[in-house]
Amino acid sequence: MDTKPTILVTGGAGYIGSHAVLALQNSGYNVIILDDLSYGHAELVKDVLKAELIVGNTSDSSLLNQLFSGKKIAAVMHFAAYIAVGESVNNPSIYYRNNVVGTLTLLEAMLAANIKKFVFSSTCAIYGMPQEIPMTENHPQNPLSPYAASKFMVEQI
């Protein structure tokens, strides 16, 4: 019987998420990846990470509820996001829908499943142009793009 905790990594088929998956696996955790593959790569999961991949989006409450009721998830690491600053300026609504509403849907499903451990991957873009270097977490927040604003909004939830 496998007693290692299982961690859900959203966006785990992408660059940052895949590195988190490797670190978790190297530390003995079981990992399930939820990724819509808009930035991620199924081949990476299959050939390198060898983790369970669920293709889907964090906005899909039915999928999340099914996942959380069918698997014993100990925690969620959330890397899934649209990330292109220029695209966010041209089409901000998809960034708010995916990054903010998707995260809110994920959090609601976690609460319903009594999953209380959550790590969110934000961005230094929430601080805008540096007023001093090095920047600290006390630096004034001034998101300059819809991408940055969407990440900042999630930090407020």
What positions carry a catalytic annotation? 147
Q: Following DSSP, what letter does each residue of the chain receive, concatenated? A: ---S-EEEEETTTSHHHHHHHHHHHHTT-EEEEEE-SSS--HHHIIIII--EEEE--TT-HHHHHHHHHHS-EEEEEE------HHHHHH-HHHHIIIIIIHHHHHHHHHHHTT---EEE---GGGG-S-SSSS--TTSPP---SHHHHHHHHHHH-
**Residue whose entry in the numeric block shows the structure tokens 């819509």:** 36
